[in-house]
Amino acid sequence: SQKIEQNSEALNIQEGKTATLTCNYTNYSPAYLQWYRQDPGRGPVFLLLIRENEKEKRKERLKVTFDTTLKQSLFHITASQPADSATYLCALDHSTDKLIFGTGTRLQVFP
């Protein structure tokens, strides 16, 4: 069956370091992958979209990679700040209209 895996354990890093979150998928061939941020008690907020023919996408301190051979996306936050602390969700297209979300990884950035 189709499956999206994100590290369920929280990622704790020190301010200023680069945070790297992983999204792995199986039995999928997605054309697009999105990353969302979710703060406690709030809905997810869109961050970035990357297409299967794009190896890398950047937006300010964020960088996303998409490796269709490894079936993996990496999400990087450089020069991390305590304000980056949140849960980050990856989402893959399951059909032309639907997104399937991973369970998310909680990031905690300590000053």
Which residues of this protein are in contact with another protein, per CB under 8 A?
31-32, 34, 41-46, 49, 51, 89, 93-104
> Which residue number, 37 or 63, has a Cβ lying nearer to another protein?
37
Alpha carbons 100 and 53: distance in angstroms, whole number: 20
What SS3 string covers 74-107?
EEEECCCCHHHCEEEEEEEECCCCCEEECCCEEE
User: Smallest gap, in angstroms, from Cβ of residue 94 to another protein?
Assistant: 8
User: Smallest gap, in angstroms, from Cβ of residue 97 to another protein?
Assistant: 5
Alpha carbons 15 and 111: distance in angstroms, whole number: 5
> Which residue number, 27 or 96, has a Cβ lying nearer to another protein?
96
User: Smallest gap, in angstroms, from Cβ of residue 60 to another protein?
Assistant: 17
> Which residue number, 32 or 72, has a Cβ lying nearer to another protein?
32
Q: What share of the chain is helix, strand, coil (3-state, %, to 5)?
A: 5, 55, 40
